[in-house]
Amino acid sequence: MLKTLRVILLVSALGLQLSGCSTVEKNSNTPEGAFAIAEEYDKGERYEEALRLYADVKNKFPYSNYATKAELAIADVYYKQESYAEAQVAYQMFKELHPTSPQSAYVQHRIGMSLFNQLPSTIDRDLTLANETILNLSDLIKKYPNSEYVSEAKEKRSAAIKMLAQKEEYIADFYFKRKAFMSALVRYEGLYNNFKGLGFDAKALSRASICASKIGDQPKAKKYEQILAKDFPGSRELKAADKELE
């Protein structure tokens, strides 16, 4: 029994020694070894150490292909940490430094996703990054139409566009409720002209017609009412516009 216990303890101790040496045995004086050590910390979710070690690979071996790998790995670590602003910058730098990289579609996708993940959760806040998100994802879809990332890119682009439409509706409604009909008209026209087919058309046409009537522009009011009657016959939005024009 004692002999068996000694064997078990010896095997356990040997296993701990071997596992503890896995990182140490890698040669940090070679680009491959240094990158492997950084990668171990990365896989172990020890991200701060991984970032430092990937940076060491870049600094110590700038002409090695592992330096390029480290640049992309740094961007990926930021993304895993949900540090999306830092990830966006790192991916953009990689794209600029390596425009013909085989990872170009992946990098473009991650730039778009980093931007998308920085968007606010509510539309009453600054949505400046939404336009940048749309441009980047559109660029991905155009340049890499057969990429595995296209489906998600289209989905996120549509979500970003809808957020901008909701923001335009929010501002238009704000002016409308305060009877600032000229300002509201401009916004409802923008909502209709720039965001067709997203579920805002009937409301935008109806409110544009009402606003135009309120400011005395009857030809414009009638124009929008006619489009509304053609595209949304029998709708409550049409009834609201007709009531105003009676």
**CA 220, 226, 232 angle in degrees (round to 5)?**
130
**Overall average pLDDT of the 144-164 stretch:** 97
- pLDDT digit string, tens, across residues 94-119: 999 999 999 999 999 999 999 999 99
**Overall average pLDDT of the 151-156 stretch:** 98
Q: What is the pTM for the complete model shown? A: 0.83
Q: Cα(135)–Cα(216) distance, rounded to whole angstroms?
A: 38
Indicate the pLDDT class of residue 13, thresholds 50, 70 and 90: very low
Closest CA to 131 of 139, 121, 122, 141: 139
For the chain, what are the domain ranges?
Answer: 179-246
- 38 and 57 in contact (C-beta within 8 Å)? yes
Q: Return the CATH class of domain 179-246.
A: mainly alpha
- 213 and 179 in contact (C-beta within 8 Å)? no
Share of the chain above pLDDT 90, in %: 87
Secondary structure of 25-62 in HEC code, one letter for each residue: CCCCCCHHHHHHHHHHHHHCCCHHHHHHHHHHHHHHCC
- pLDDT digit string, tens, across residues 200-238: 999 999 999 999 999 999 999 999 999 999 999 999 999
**Model confidence at 6: pLDDT above 60:** no
Predicted local distance difference test score (pLDDT) of residue 19 = 42
The first and second tokens of residue 142, run together, are 């155009």
Predicted local distance difference test score (pLDDT) of residue 17 = 43
Predicted local distance difference test score (pLDDT) of residue 126 = 94
Indicate the pLDDT class of residue 27, thresholds 50, 70 and 90: confident
Q: How far is CA 161 from the centre of its chain?
A: 12
Indicate the pLDDT class of residue 28, thresholds 50, 70 and 90: confident
Predicted local distance difference test score (pLDDT) of residue 25 = 55
Q: Which residue has the tokens 């004086």?
A: 29
Give the CB-side neighbour count of residue 97, counting CA atoms within 13 A: 12
CA-based end-to-end distance of the chain: 101
Lowest mean pLDDT among 6-20, 176-190, 198-212, 221-235: 6-20
**Model confidence at 7: pLDDT above 70:** no
**Model confidence at 69: pLDDT above 70:** yes
**CA 26, 27, 29 angle in degrees (round to 5)?**
155
**Model confidence at 58: pLDDT above 90:** yes
Q: What is the mean pLDDT of the chain?
A: 91
Indicate the pLDDT class of residue 23, thresholds 50, 70 and 90: very low
Indicate the pLDDT class of residue 15, thresholds 50, 70 and 90: very low
Predicted local distance difference test score (pLDDT) of residue 181 = 98
